[in-house]
Structure 1
């Protein structure tokens, strides 16, 4: 078991991860390797990562929610499907080797990132038409599939959610607010699941969770202040970071 000195680098990295995650998702690509580097076992690292993730995603959700950057009518319809998908994904991981899908998902997320960047207007303006048949036809199954991926593999879940919301007309700031809200719900569900297993290292997860929440609050405020152009630049960075993790880490 590591000593308290690991928090000297764990806290600033958790803060940075919270900031990045609140803007464009992908904070877990920083916190999970950090927990492994601290010397935690895989089970401890995954469980503790969910503990601190609920702090960060919860903090970002509050910021976006208070400023009206969450479409509540749509999100409340998607959360149950994302939770159901996440539970199914966690179940399937016992029967299918996740490594077989890492390269495929890495290619997909690079394609998604390229599409966002090549289309200069994508996600820059808010053109959400409301709860139309087309919007529901895309977001309801989309939330379930992305939730399943979150439970099964995980990296880039928030990034995929942002793309889904931008696809139906939200600008990237509102896409981020919606994505963080759903992420908070799935993180909370996973936290309760891992809580039963007793693998969480509380003395690491709680202070890193607070640091993650502070970073997330700053990141959400920065995204709302600077707008979709800032979010788009961060989105490109996160796409590369998530793809690198999927390709290189097994």
Structure 2
């Protein structure tokens, strides 16, 4: 059991990570090292982090709903598409150590920053324009696998898919993202529970911070709009890309 200092660190890191996750992604790159630093082995840290991720996205979904951003049917459709991949990824549930994959992912993160900075014609769709094609189906299956398998950076992949394949505005992107992550976290969390890879005290402590950060991030996402989301997203992607490319 951590001391008071450890509890406070977990809470505040959880809040910051959740704020980043809701508006962008990569927050788990903060929480996982902290959990390992506090003495958990990587597999238990991975499982413990999923408890906080679940609470983070539940609170974010609630906050978006309170702000009148809620499309249950559409979010459920997208979530259902991730489940086949999520089930396979959750059963696999091991660390990715392929250095080449990490470098490729780092390059992709930089590419996403460039495409967001470049001016583009606004193509926001209305609710009636919500359509699913084979590209988004394939993307959701792959993202479901990766999200349940490792989690770190899955928010970036969901945002890229929703923004560039479905042409959604960033507020609706985040609205769907937090719902989808909540759903595919369930089978992943179940696997970690069944294999006894969760430290519940750490998980509950981190969850308190994540729940607050998720609620806070969703509220600001709606109130401040796309400018805030783009700012947080660019900073988060840049930090994670540099880490994946072993710059620091």
Match of 1:204 in 2: 202
Q: TM-score, normalised by structure 2?
A: 0.88
Conserved 8 A contact 1:98-1:153: no
- Label 1:183 to 1:199 Cα distance change in 2 as closer, same or farther (>3 A): same
Match of 1:39 in 2: 39
Structure 1 counterpart of 2:212, from 205, 214, 224: 214
1:178 Cα deviation after fit: 0.6
1:26 Cα deviation after fit: 2.0
Match of 2:23 in 1: 23
Task: Say yes or no: does 1:233 pair with 2:231.
Answer: yes
1:45 Cα deviation after fit: 0.6
Q: TM-score, normalised by structure 1?
A: 0.88
C-alpha distance in 1 between matches for 2:101 and 2:111: 15
Map 1:54-65; keep pairs closer than 5 Å.
54-65=54-65
- Label 1:242 to 1:86 Cα distance change in 2 as closer, same or farther (>3 A): farther
1:224 Cα deviation after fit: 0.3
1:233 Cα deviation after fit: 0.9
C-alpha distance in 2 between matches for 1:155 and 1:212: 15
C-alpha distance in 2 between matches for 1:121 and 1:161: 21
Gaps of 5+ in 2: none
CA RMSD of aligned residues (A): 2.3
Conserved 8 A contact 2:83-2:144: yes
Match of 1:104 in 2: 104
C-alpha distance in 2 between matches for 1:37 and 1:203: 15
Map 1:138-149; keep pairs closer than 5 Å.
138-149=135-146
Conserved 8 A contact 2:18-2:27: yes
Task: Say yes or no: does 1:170 pair with 2:173.
Answer: no
Match of 1:247 in 2: 245
1:4 Cα deviation after fit: 4.9
